[in-house]
Structure 1
Amino acid sequence: MSTHHPTPGHPDPASPWVFSTRELGRRPGNMRSYRRTIPAPAAPATLGLETIAVPAGEPIELDVRLESVTEGVYVSGSVHASLTGECARCLDALTDEIDVDLSELFAYPDSVTDETTDEDELPRVVDEMIDVEQIVRDAVVLALPLAPLCTPDCLGLCPECGEKRADLAPDHGHETLDPRWAALRERLSAD
């Protein structure tokens, strides 16, 4: 039994992130819609940031429309996924959901767009296939909060003792004495 190994730079037709444009053809205006549920990739290509991400293997709901246009295939649609992370203020675990819109042109080979843009500026249609994994990854990561919060009014941690402020008494505090007065305090308490 032979295993299919995609050529570097060429989409793997077996990947759930890859869509064939063969049925679409190159006639502007032709459209196809697709719905797929794809497991989130595992490390090192995780989908997210250090503080919040789509957990590896978690389902990503992809709803896309491929439309043939003069210069390539225009991909539009949405992505929905569950997130897990850590609150930036209190460090508690948190869960959330994300909905992100997609819109990207995949340039046809030898089109004006292909010839006038750098390889890293715009994705390409390769062998009548497009791979949406990178555009999904980029859209999700750009939509994630850099400092996720468990609640918008999270009080965070006490800077003195490190305890969660929400769990502390309202009169919680730490007496801080200016070191310059420490000698006087010692002298007064000795009496």
Structure 2
Amino acid sequence: MRVVQRAVHAPAELGTEFVGVPEGADIELDLRLEAVMEGVLVSGSVHAPVLGECVRCLGEVSFDLDVELTELFAYPDRVVEDEDDEVRELQDELIDLEPALRDAVVLALPFQPVCREDCAGLCSECGVRLDDHPGHVHDVADPRWAALEGLLAESGPATQNAPSGPEAPDETKES
């Protein structure tokens, strides 16, 4: 067994569209390499800084990510039991850790990162950040009522001010 503690620079595009580890950032690896019958078992933890954009308010999101990593790197001359298994292989007695690291980190990132769990987001009308303006509202008419508002405008002010209810004159009675 061998213990490896090392800081490496993050590769390009280690993340998703909204959140990821910045290229060149220091990733701290604390790994244990063990020889097993099938190959070399790499296990341990990965610590990396994460930057992104809140999907609600477009503000900055930053946090530290800690991920557990366990991966088997098989000897090249191993007997294949199941061809559907994706097993990484040792290459000239070397381990290419980047694909396993990428899989572990990207899968641990939030699918929709938010700056705070209770982030209110942006106003859908004007784009103002709702956390900065908690009482922000717009008086916007529902577009489904627009045709009725047009009828009300055509009928003029006399009809709009006419009494309704029991005191209203009944136009259906004959005189």
Tell me the TM-score normalised to structure 1 length: 0.75
Match of 1:131 among 96, 116, 121: 96
The percentage of aligned residue pairs carrying the same residue is 48
User: Does residue 110 of the first structure (1) align with residue 77 of the second (2)?
Assistant: yes
Residue of structure 1 in register with 2:8 after alignment:
38
- Asked if the contact 1:107–1:123 (Cα under 8 Å) also holds between the matched residues in 2, the reply is yes
Which structure's CA Rg is the greater one?
A: 2
- Cα offset, 1:93, TM superposition: 1.5
- Cα offset, 1:121, TM superposition: 0.3
- Cα offset, 1:186, TM superposition: 3.4
The structure whose RCO (Cα within 8 Å, separation 6+) is larger is 1
Residue of structure 2 in register with 1:170 after alignment:
135
Give 3-state SS (helix, strand or coil) of 1:60's partner.
strand
Q: Distance in 2 between matches of 1:60 and 1:122?
A: 24
Q: Distance in 1 between matches of 2:44 and 2:120?
A: 37
* Pair 164,127 (structure 1): closer, same or farther in 2 beyond 3 Å: same
Q: Distance in 2 between matches of 1:93 and 1:185?
A: 47
Residue of structure 1 in register with 2:30 after alignment:
63
In the alignment, residue 49 of structure 2 is paired with which amino acid? Answer: S
Q: Distance in 1 between matches of 2:15 and 2:141?
A: 40
Residue of structure 1 in register with 2:118 after alignment:
153
- Asked if the contact 1:160–1:174 (Cα under 8 Å) also holds between the matched residues in 2, the reply is no
* Structural mapping, 1:71-86, within 5 Å: 71-86=38-53
Residue of structure 2 in register with 1:22 after alignment:
none
Tell me the TM-score normalised to structure 2 length: 0.81
Q: Distance in 2 between matches of 1:104 and 1:182?
A: 66
Give 3-state SS (helix, strand or coil) of 1:134's partner.
helix
Q: Distance in 2 between matches of 1:119 and 1:125?
A: 18
